[in-house]
């Protein structure tokens, strides 16, 4: 069996229950040999509110007690410039070789704007995609941009097929019912609302200790 490496990238500003649930879903579906969390310095978003070190620390806290092991991969941070997913996947393919199954995990909201990503069609040449529905973001083909729907045609596969393929397959998961955004979390923290349903308790403790997201 070829090795399978699942990747979950994002700003994680801050990491919240939705991120953990997404990682857990594909850890259960794929049983990957390695699950890497990739904190990004994204080009599509305005400046991050937490530092790179703080985001990594919160990720370590959030995933420390999960029943699946994760590796925090800081390569995007270490580039010290805004990062495109395709560049990271090129680097990972070079690192892992041609045979490994690489599965880039995302929510349906990201799939719906996939055609705005740099060299997005090349993603299928470098990795598989694991996509989870979330409330308000369906995975129906007619809800996607036509070019994205066309790219997915013929690529849909079961988790087992994705795990056995180096790249080019897409696994759609309809079972993620968590609907949380980092913007929602930051707004709640700024206004002093209860965020216990949004954040792992150890992450909330860290945020409070470091007085993050207050302004």
pLDDT of residue 139: 72
The answer to whether residue 215 sits within a structural domain is: no
**How many helices (H) and strands (E) would you count in the chain?**
10, 6
Lookup result for tokens 């979950």: 8
Q: 177 in helix, strand or coil?
A: coil
DSSP string, 113-170: TGGGSTTGGGHHHH-EEEEE-BTTB---GGGS-HHHHHHHTTTB--HHHHHT-SSS-E
The answer to whether residue 214 sits within a structural domain is: no
Phi (first) and psi of residue 155, to 5 degrees: -105, -15
The answer to whether residue 8 sits within a structural domain is: yes
pLDDT of residue 178: 80
Q: Is the peptide bond before 14 cis (omega within 30 degrees of 0)?
A: yes
Residues in the chain: 215
The answer to whether residue 138 sits within a structural domain is: yes
Rounded Cα–Cα distance for residues 138 and 126 (Å): 25
Phi (first) and psi of residue 176, to 5 degrees: -95, 110
Residue 63's domain comprises 4-209
With a cut of 70, list the residues of the chain below it in pLDDT. 42-46, 136, 138
pLDDT of residue 174: 83
Lookup result for tokens 């495109």: 84
Strand partners, 101: 4
Rounded Cα–Cα distance for residues 144 and 115 (Å): 10
pTM: 0.93
**CATH value at residue 58:** 3.40.50.620
Rounded Cα–Cα distance for residues 194 and 138 (Å): 28
The answer to whether residue 139 sits within a structural domain is: yes
pLDDT of residue 41: 81
How many domains does the chain divide into?
1
Residues 71-125: tens digit of each pLDDT: 999 999 888 777 789 999 999 999 999 999 999 999 988 999 999 999 999 999 9
Among 23, 102, 110, residue whose Cα is nearest residue 59:
23
Residue partners of 105: CB distance under 8 A and separation at least 6: 6, 7, 8, 22, 23, 26, 129, 130, 131, 132
E strands present in 25-169: 34-39, 71-72, 101-107, 128-132
């Amino acid at each position: 069996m070829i090795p399978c490496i699942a990747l979950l990238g994002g700003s994680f500003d801050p990491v919240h229950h939705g991120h953990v649930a997404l990682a857990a879903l594909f850890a259960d579906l794929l049983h990957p040999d390695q699950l890497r969390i990739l904190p990004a310095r994204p080009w599509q978003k305005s400046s991050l509110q937490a530092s790179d070190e703080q985001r990594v620390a919160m990720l370590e806290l959030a995933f420390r007690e999960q029943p699946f092991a994760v590796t925090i991969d800081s390569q995007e941070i270490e580039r010290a410039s805004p990062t495109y997913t395709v560049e990271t996947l090129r680097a990972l393919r070079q690192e892992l070789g041609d045979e490994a199954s690489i599965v880039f995990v995302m929510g349906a909201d990201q799939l719906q704007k996939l055609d705005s990503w740099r060299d997005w069609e090349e993603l299928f040449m470098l990795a598989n995609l694991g996509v989870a529905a979330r409330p308000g973001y369906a995975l129906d083909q007619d809800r996607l941009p036509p070019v994205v729907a066309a790219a997915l045609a013929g690529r849909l596969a079961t988790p087992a097929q994705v795990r056995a393929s180096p790249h080019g397959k897409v696994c759609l998961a309809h079972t993620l019912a968590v609907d949380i955004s980092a913007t929602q979390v930051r707004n709640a923290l700024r206004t002093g609302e209860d965020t216990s349903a949004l954040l792992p308790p150890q992450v909330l403790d860290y945020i409070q200790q470091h007085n993050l997201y207050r302004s």
